[in-house]
Amino acid sequence: MKILAKFLEILVKKLYKKFNYNKKVRMTLKDYEDYNDTTICYICGGELKGDKVLDEVHLNGKYTSAAKNECNLRLLSIYQ
C-alpha cells in the first residue's frame, strides 16, 4: 500500500508541474473580510499570531482561508 501511495504522490506532482496549475489567487470582498477576521489556522486549528498567510487552491486561484505560514508551506510541499 505504501508503494501505491508513493507512486500516486509522484504522479500527482508530475501532473501538477506539467500543467502549471499554480494560478494567481483571486479574492472577493467576502474573502478579504474572512481573511481579516480569521484568528484560527484552518489547517491545524491553532491561533494565528503574526505568521498569518492566505491559502488558495492552486488549481483555480480561489481563496481558501487564513493559515499559519508554516502550515501553509507544509501543505504546499506536498504538491511540489
The residues of the shown chain that bind Zn ion, judged by CB under 5 A, are: 41, 43-44, 46, 68, 71
The CA-to-CA distance between both ends of the chain, in Å, stands at 22
CB of 48 to Zn ion, least distance (A): 8
56: β partners: 63
CB of 55 to Zn ion, least distance (A): 10
CB of 13 to Zn ion, least distance (A): 22
Nearer Cβ to Zn ion (25/53) = 53
What b/e sequence results for 33-43 when a residue is b if at least 16 CB atoms lie within 10 Å of its CB, and e otherwise? ebbeeeeebbb
